[in-house]
Structure 1
């Protein structure tokens, strides 16, 4: 029973994960469009302003407040320290802020770190920023209009997006690497979604990375290399998503044999593939209630899957029933996948189908990894005295249900 106790301890560790497994990327996304020419490379970058300024806050002064970061001012609101954009400072000297932003990006080509030249910069209040999914949108966003809309009132630093055009006079470049040096110390920064779209010789390659990108990402003209970054992200999305892990576990312990397991996994795969595509292309309700409803339904689906795992099997139509149920539940999880991915890709983004397919392949590989790890343990426990397997399966189902119940309560708060 020792492996079971170790497994259950790890399972309870899932409680330390954030309540929402999706929809966390609306303010921690960085998009890079990179064009090639005989002169070198041009990078059009969109990132949250807080990623640049958070780590530049100074020590505490005599007034008890920290020295504001450049282009900001601080004040206490309801006992909390808030950081505002100093619009007067920005409009009087925007070039310095642009240089600070450019200095956080490292681009290496031909074996050398390249010197960045700032071409233009624009700031936008969150929610009013123009499109940035295509190269033409990125070029317009970094040049059109004022540096910052003058009619906007006081704005939190965290509610501002920065668009930047940087040029690197590196000459003709095929392969290069890119990284970021900033470490803002913000919640959720390790899940930052980085998208790099490389335009070279009429080809567009889309690369994906998660985190602060302190380790350089190598960008080349290889379609396989670009797709592999989305495969990796699909795997991560499953393995680092506690709700997905719990549901797959419940599917595994509820399967009588390999055929039964295949029916469950196939149903789930088909279900989430359908709604991943539908949700990504906007064929889903757009009301503010829909995303929280999906999150709540996903938590409830785990409880249902746990109950189904310990019920006596239907000998006549058990596999068909399990296929239908997991297909339906897969529909819910697919919306979760699609909304997460839609934060960084849009329908008119280049190579959207390749990226979507590669991400889905990663999701399937992530599920397969869990199955490969857990199924042998299930087979081992089934060879033990009956009470061992029954008790182990019940313990896993109860733990999964308890964790999911916590999520149900927390996610239901949206509707109160």
Structure 2
């Protein structure tokens, strides 16, 4: 029977051996890509472990890719393999033509590094997708993009990751950001029935131009604040909480339309501002799916907000004009539309609230 001292020595020796044995069998499942946009080209490098290369090249496990002669012999195969799995595209979706430059072992890391270049001025919006070794479900590829010597953006890709976009820190980059996020904001409002019904509910009862402008402005201020908070990670409540509250806000607006008596204070601007705070969190969930460019975060938020406002105006202006015209000529019809519309808004809001709470419970 081992004495406690001998047992301790044995365990310490085992712990010392295990990490090195595991590392020899398979290193940490990571690869690294660096991209450096320049004036007339995009240059970069891919650093990968030899264990991953041996597996996907389907060559003998005893092959020593760290040997210069062996590595040179496999140069073409390695370059084809890696560059085929690194997908770089411009803002129009056209894939960049990337050519290998050199391949060399990385001393002390059991890894090799392939350098490459894409000729021509780098695009202002660069889409990146890097799935290098999907045979390993734990494998991740870390992409770092530099502007000069400064890190401009970092990305992480796993087997399920979608493409991410880098926007250059230039006037052209700002333009590319706005060209992406302004339409995204407008599109989200126009295809989001809950946001559309909330806005319609606010304007069904009509009002002066000043009143309607105040309502829209209050909603804008509300959602802009929480959109920025959530998009920057400062404060972001979970979707399971926000989505039912958005539905509830629609119900409240519809009820206010029906229950507010003539001469009572118009609370629509207050509701627009308060509930705008909740809707802003909803907008942020969509915005995060685009992969926010950290170097151009302010422009991305501004562009998305501008798009949201354009989407709102596309709803508010024609509806307000139509209802105003009806109130001036056939007020009875306009009132019936307002009441019927409010009932529809309430019904939809109740349905969404119950459905979202039920999904939460399930």
TM-score, with length taken from structure 2: 0.59
Computing the radius of gyration over CA atoms, which structure comes out larger, 1 or 2?
2
Query: CA separation in 2, counterparts of 1:44 and 1:405?
Result: 54
Deviation per CA, 1:31-77: give whole Å up to 9, x if none: x99632367224799xxxxxxxxxxxxxxxxxxxxxxxxxxxxxxxx
Aligned with 1:298 (options 236, 246, 266)? 246
Tell me: CA distance 1:409–1:337, structure 2 relative to 1, closer, same or farther (3 Å): same
Contact 2:145/2:152 (8 A) holds in 1: yes
Higher RCO (C-alpha 8 Å, min separation 6): 1
Aligned with 2:310 (options 353, 365, 372)? 365
Contact 2:38/2:122 (8 A) holds in 1: no
Tell me: CA distance 1:177–1:395, structure 2 relative to 1, closer, same or farther (3 Å): same
- Structure 1 counterpart SS, 2:294: coil
Query: CA separation in 2, counterparts of 1:93 and 1:233?
Result: 39
Query: CA separation in 2, counterparts of 1:279 and 1:351?
Result: 16
Aligned with 1:173 (options 113, 118, 121)? 121
Query: CA separation in 2, counterparts of 1:91 and 1:251?
Result: 63
Q: Between Structure 1 and Structure 2, how many residues are aligned?
A: 269
Aligned-pair CA distance for 1:244 = 1.0
Q: Which residue of 2 aligns with 1:93?
A: 56
- Structure 2 counterpart SS, 1:169: strand
Aligned with 1:268 (options 219, 226, 238)? 219
Aligned with 2:197 (options 234, 242, 246)? 246
Tell me: CA distance 1:97–1:398, structure 2 relative to 1, closer, same or farther (3 Å): farther
Query: CA separation in 2, counterparts of 1:179 and 1:345?
Result: 11
Contact 2:206/2:324 (8 A) holds in 1: no
- Structure 1 counterpart SS, 2:295: coil
Contact 2:88/2:95 (8 A) holds in 1: no
Query: CA separation in 2, counterparts of 1:44 and 1:336?
Result: 38
Contact 1:275/1:331 (8 A) holds in 2: yes
Q: Which residue of 2 aligns with 1:229?
A: 180
Q: Which residue of 1 aligns with 2:27?
A: none
Query: CA separation in 1, counterparts of 2:249 and 2:110?
Result: 48
| Unmatched segments (≥5 aa) in structure 2 | 1-32, 58-77, 102-108, 130-143, 154-161
Query: CA separation in 2, counterparts of 1:338 and 1:108?
Result: 23
Matches within 5 A, 1:16-415: 35-37=36-38, 40-42=41-43, 92-93=55-56, 98=82, 100-102=84-86, 106=89, 114-117=96-99, 167-170=116-119, 172-173=120-121, 175=123, 221-222=171-172, 223-284=174-235, 290-313=238-261, 315=263, 317-318=265-266, 321-345=267-291, 349-413=294-358, 414-415=360-361
Deviation per CA, 1:249-294: give whole Å up to 9, x if none: 11111332222212221221111112112222334365xxx32110
Aligned-pair CA distance for 1:330 = 0.5
RMSD (Å) for aligned C-alpha atoms: 4.4
Deviation per CA, 1:101-155: give whole Å up to 9, x if none: 44x655599xx97433579xxxxxxxxxxxxxxxxxxxxxxxx9999xxxxxxxx
Query: CA separation in 2, counterparts of 1:376 and 1:411?
Result: 34
Aligned-pair CA distance for 1:177 = 7.7
Q: Which residue of 2 aligns with 1:22?
A: none
Tell me: CA distance 1:358–1:405, structure 2 relative to 1, closer, same or farther (3 Å): same
Query: CA separation in 1, counterparts of 2:322 and 2:213?
Result: 17
| Unmatched segments (≥5 aa) in structure 1 | 1-31, 46-87, 120-143, 148-164, 182-196, 207-211
